[in-house]
Structure 1
Amino acid sequence: MACKTLLKLFSTLAAAALISACGPQIGKEAATPKGIAAEHQLALTDVVSSQLAPLSLGGNEYLLLASEKRGLVLVDKEGNEKLALDGGTVERFALHPLEQGSWLIAVYDEDSGELQLRLLDVEEGSPRIRYLAAMATDAPQVAMCFSSQAGRTHLFAIDETGLGHEYVVHPREQAWTFTGLRPLYFGEQVSSCVVDDRRGKLLVAQPPLGIWSLNADAEMDEARQVFIAASDLPAGEFGGLWLDEVNGNLWLTVAEKVMAFDINDPAKGPLFVETLADIEPVSAAVQGEALLALEEESDQVHRFAVSLPQPPAEMQAFRGPVEIPRVRASGQTAPVASGGDAADDPAIWVNPAKPSASLILGTDKKSGLSVYDLSGKLVEHFEVGRVNNVDLRPMQHGKFVAIAAATNRTDPGVSLFGITAAGAVEYLGLRNLEMEDPYGLCVYRKGADLMTWVSDKEGAVQLLQIVPGTGNVDWSLRKVASLEVASQVEGCVVDDEMQMLFFGEEDGGIWRLDIAAYLAGEAKPQLIAPVDGERLAADVEGMGFYHAADKSYLVVSSQGNNSYALFNRDGSEFVGHFKVDINLDKGLDGSSETDGLEVSSAALGAQYPQGLLVVQDGRNRMPSASQNFKLVSWADIAETLQLP
């Protein structure tokens, strides 16, 4: 301490003398080991590399290196060069295994300003790299990583401004294609990324903030959180992520150190920490029993003999979630006019004279009711307020062949719409209710009468009769009964023939009520399908009935796992479930976070010969846009679930 004080007070010459006097202390610091030394260096020629990755190809082990002079360079374990692009300036790449032992490579070429796809495979016993596709970018890409999702290959690419994009990369005819799925926003200084496909997590290194974890599936909430905080890492630049998928370890470089964390539980601290002598690595990986490390813009790969961490017990025992079957979307509607969480609930009007001219009614809960044709084109929009749920039934009337009703939260009540035989929709006005916040709604027929159940968001469910009028203004609602419920109810549907009400308690499950018995004071609601996190994951939302000649199904939106559950007609037996998936051939994304749905068994033309399911899509992707409704052919659902 005395030496330090004197150094601050004396002149440079005096300080130099004192430094000499303090020599034993400095000598002690100098004697501290700097770290482990490399057992071997692989000397390369004109590579100038800042990233490496090990791979197996044709039964042999190789290293792939980014090259600022020659694009990509492949060397064997001894450092012997096997091939190079011999062109382009590449600092970063992503690597993804394909079938038959080949590899897909994504690179950003600084010379062309392109994000490129390449294929690494073997021809006549020798490795080769082939060009697949390229796409110009607005800014240099600083991080790239691949993901496997539902049999597809997804690519995440993040540029130097922090703007990321997710693409589906896939072959189409004679070339590969980048299909944009969604943007992602990070901010500057992103250094690298990897994807843990077992858990569906995208991991992004962003000095000096830390390493982020996000859901890799675009149809899930982003759920961004800190995976490893910068405060839990040594001081210095960090990045250079590499995931050992076999052993479940995430490797990264930090200043002069290489570290490894258990991908299952990074909070318990690093499994491996080593300081490397004489180098500050920017890329590190494990090949066999050796640790490989690379300095920035280097022509040498350093190989270290170290004691590697064993696979964690969690990794050995881990089993990914059970994959829910997927059915591709067949079509979609135009996006709703309002942004944010706006689209909510659909209804289907079947045109009895010309089924292919049927209509889809969909609510924009910030604006009104939209009408679409079966191609998804917007036919008309009624700006009548914050309509939430909509349902309809055919009826005999002098002017209309069907009546639709929708809860209206702007001026609490129910908005009515008439549909003519020609498919024209007319607004019949609003009928007010003694209700705080009209929310869920379902319409049904009781003999010649048209009935509707309407839920108050924070209160009871009311049964109302829709009393027809001769004109557009003299329709009315007559309250018949009230049903007390334990918590919030939105989705509901009635089996008209059986006179059974089914409604969803969002975090509870599916309830069933014999309407006639209830009105006679002889029945109460029964919980027939509780939320279990698998078949039904809260929230329980939209409901519809598919009535076929020999089989009927209750279809329910299981919002918590972005799936749709099928039950038998009385709701007592789980039949199966599915997700609505991307349709690359038609450029359609899947659906997620679904509120309302509707289903019809009517043959609606060549595209929907066995009927149609319409679901609200909470995240409209490819490209990102306001919410809309996805259309799914029932024939595809039946085939996927092998329904009789």
Structure 2
Amino acid sequence: MTCTTLLKSTVALALALALAGLLTACGPRMDESRAESVPLQPNQRITLSEVVSSQLAPVNLADTDYLLLASEKRGLVLADMDGGEKLALDGGTVERFALQQLEENRWLVAVYDEDRGELQLRLLDVDPDSGEPQIRYLSAMATDAPQAAMCFSRQAGRTHLFAIDENGLGHEYVVHPREDAWQFTGIRPLYFGEQVSSCVVDDRHGKLLVAQPPLGIWRLNADAEMDEDREVFAAPAELAEEDFGGLWLDEASGNLWLTAGQKVLAFNLNNPAEGTRFSRQLAELEPVSAVIQRGQLLALEEESDVVQRFQVALPEPAAEMQAFRAPVEIPRVAASGQTVPVKSGGDAADDPAIWVNPVNPSASLILGTDKKSGLNVYDLNGALVEQFPVGRLNNVDLRPIQHGSFVAIAAATNRTDPGVSLFGITASGKVDYLGLRNLDMEDPYGLCVYRKGADLMAWVSDKDSDLQLLQIMPGDGDIDWQLEQRATLAVESQVEGCVVDDEKQKLFFGEEDVGIWRLDIAGFLNGEAQPQLIAPVDGIRLAADVEGMGLYHKGERSYLVVSSQGNNSYALFSRSGSEFIGHFKVDINLDRNIDGSSETDGLEVSSAAFGDQYPDGLLVVQDGRNRMPSQRQNFKLVSWSDIATTLELK
């Protein structure tokens, strides 16, 4: 053998060995890929009798596993894992239901009964005498159209139900016990369009997910007091089918399961961008409902009597689930009252002020701006007393005054004809309009009034410029009132909310994206002081925008109250503003059918005793989203006693 021949043989052998090694290395991957492409065969078929079901869900009662199925012939059917029927409703046509575990051995079920045209609430639990499962009727509500999707949500200890009809109109309800029956309390409408097939709520992240073939799966905030922030969770290309749905949430693993054509898919709720975590085609089956129970996949075809069980390797719990920590829940205080909605639509209500009637505190007034129209005057029950359509009033504040005609003067920035509108309040509570005083400003925005001895002063901000210090000069009777500029305070960005501690002559103002500033007014006027940033925006105590401000005056128990608009909360600081005391949200009051508040612009607070309803004072906040039902904006009233109890104030 020549050297050349030997060399060729050696090279050939090396190539053969390399190729063999490569094939060996690729072998398992090819087998695995082939297995993924082979339709998944069931290892068990659970056969039922005359159920005709298109949805199933696993439930556990008294340590026993069951399957709950929607039935087009018998409403709901509960079966054991061998297909033995345990119970069923007395008729009714049900294609969809929602399920929520209230506590051990108690499940709340919402169904749409097509025969009766109503949403029904049922309780699935265990009979205390026999120990057997039972379904009990709770309540029902007629609907205008058949319901295509229903899902429950847990919010602040309450049960919320989302129901979306076949026209794509959705509604959110609070469902709750009321005397002998459960009640549906409407929160808001939601709009999707036709072809919604199913929905679930991810309570960990506070998200509602809605399947709408062929557009995709939407994700939006479940909390009605937040912006929807609607986004695409899964696009049609990721689902690879025009028909998809059957959403089911596995909270333990953090996976969203659904059906698409002949496939069952799973997505990571924490990171949908990673694509499908599970995708398998089922043999001779187009599932419309799929769930996981005890580590196995169960699937159901449309209008079927057979549940198929599959033994298959399931995705591990999402890695993010191990490190997931839910946001720290901000305490909640229920609203005590509310005003009637403002006249203008959209973002209109803005800032309130409180006039305390010194003779009869229960006859006190709330002044609130409609920034598209003028000033509204309300009583403490929230009823509208008077309206002043004098222009686009933004912020309002008031102080007592020694005057022949009036006991208090209110001032409001007017953006229609740039200036300040003045109002006088008589001892009897009558409000008089004193006219507009123009200012050399492009856009008068924030405003707060205070007293300096016998003088009545006001700080007014230009929306995109500085603050001006003005003196309000009284006129004879109700005319000839004037404004005189005394100083200018330069600021870096937009300021709206402000308040002055009259006794200490300290100005607090909010630079919306920065935080709370404090200014020694006397020192500033003497050229010896500049504003100090005492509470920066940190996303927790204060979340931009920093908006309305008020001072609760009660000796050592005095507080600065600030609207933290970015997280729909209200922050309490010490009177000096240097110490954070706590924060809270204004919540739903189901007993009085009042929603909470959110996206608050202006607020005001008083420590006056206003009678039995507000014995320790009153907080009034603008509500940017007026729900229960959805209406134009208004103002919410909150008892300071409830705030003090919730935050355990001394």
TM > 0.5: yes
- SS class of match (2:164): strand
Does residue 1:179 correspond to 2:182, yes or no? Answer: no
Aligned partners of 2:405 and 2:478 also within 8 Å:
no
Structure 1: gaps spanning 5 or more residues: 1-30
Letter in 2 for 1:187: G
The whole-number CA distance in structure 2 between the counterparts of 1:100 and 1:272 is 30
Does residue 1:56 correspond to 2:45, yes or no? Answer: no
The whole-number CA distance in structure 1 between the counterparts of 2:576 and 2:241 is 62
1:84 maps to which residue? Answer: 88
The whole-number CA distance in structure 1 between the counterparts of 2:174 and 2:413 is 39
The whole-number CA distance in structure 2 between the counterparts of 1:235 and 1:552 is 62
Q: How does 1:146-545 map to 2 (within 5 A)?
A: 146-545=152-551
Large movers: runs of 4+ above 3 Å: 31-34
Match of 1:121 among 116, 119, 125: 125
2:635 maps to which residue? Answer: 629
Identity of aligned residues (%): 77
Aligned partners of 1:146 and 1:155 also within 8 Å:
yes
Question: Cα distance, 1:32 vs. partner?
Answer: 11
Aligned partners of 1:441 and 1:455 also within 8 Å:
yes
Question: Cα distance, 1:76 vs. partner?
Answer: 1.0
1:96 maps to which residue? Answer: 100
1:17 maps to which residue? Answer: none
Question: Cα distance, 1:472 vs. partner?
Answer: 1.9
The whole-number CA distance in structure 2 between the counterparts of 1:255 and 1:168 is 34
Aligned partners of 1:389 and 1:596 also within 8 Å:
yes
The whole-number CA distance in structure 2 between the counterparts of 1:229 and 1:100 is 37
Question: Cα distance, 1:78 vs. partner?
Answer: 1.5
1:638 maps to which residue? Answer: 644
- Can you list the C-alpha shifts for 1:98-136, whole angstroms capped at 9, x where unaligned? 124300000000000000000000012100000000000
Say which is worse superposed, 147-156 or 470-479, in terms of deviation: 470-479
The structure-2 alpha-carbon separation of the partners of 1:32 and 1:551, relative to structure 1 and needing over 3 Å to count, comes to: closer
1:23 maps to which residue? Answer: none
2:11 maps to which residue? Answer: none
- SS class of match (1:585): helix
2:597 maps to which residue? Answer: 591
Structure 2: gaps spanning 5 or more residues: 1-34
The whole-number CA distance in structure 2 between the counterparts of 1:639 and 1:573 is 19
- SS class of match (2:592): coil
Does residue 1:145 correspond to 2:151, yes or no? Answer: yes
Aligned partners of 1:69 and 1:86 also within 8 Å:
no
The whole-number CA distance in structure 2 between the counterparts of 1:420 and 1:290 is 75
The whole-number CA distance in structure 1 between the counterparts of 2:105 and 2:437 is 66
Say which is worse superposed, 54-63 or 606-615, in terms of deviation: 54-63
Aligned partners of 2:404 and 2:477 also within 8 Å:
no
- Can you list the C-alpha shifts for 1:556-609, whole angstroms capped at 9, x where unaligned? 000000000000011000000000000000000000000000000000011000
Match of 2:44 among 31, 40, 52: 40
1:108 maps to which residue? Answer: 112
Question: Cα distance, 1:86 vs. partner?
Answer: 3.1
- Can you list the C-alpha shifts for 1:471-514, whole angstroms capped at 9, x where unaligned? 22200000000000000000000000000000000000000000
Question: Cα distance, 1:160 vs. partner?
Answer: 0.2
- SS class of match (1:606): coil
Letter in 2 for 1:54: P
The whole-number CA distance in structure 1 between the counterparts of 2:393 and 2:649 is 35
Aligned partners of 2:246 and 2:288 also within 8 Å:
yes
- SS class of match (1:640): helix
Aligned partners of 2:607 and 2:618 also within 8 Å:
yes
Aligned partners of 1:449 and 1:465 also within 8 Å:
yes
1:132 maps to which residue? Answer: 138
TM normalised by structure 1 equals 0.95
Tell me how large the CA RMSD over aligned residues is: 1.0
Letter in 1 for 2:60: S
2:32 maps to which residue? Answer: none
Letter in 1 for 2:109: I
The whole-number CA distance in structure 2 between the counterparts of 1:33 and 1:566 is 60
Q: How does 1:2-81 map to 2 (within 5 A)?
A: 35-81=39-85
The whole-number CA distance in structure 2 between the counterparts of 1:230 and 1:419 is 62
Question: Cα distance, 1:295 vs. partner?
Answer: 0.3
- SS class of match (1:624): coil
2:7 maps to which residue? Answer: none
Question: Cα distance, 1:350 vs. partner?
Answer: 0.1
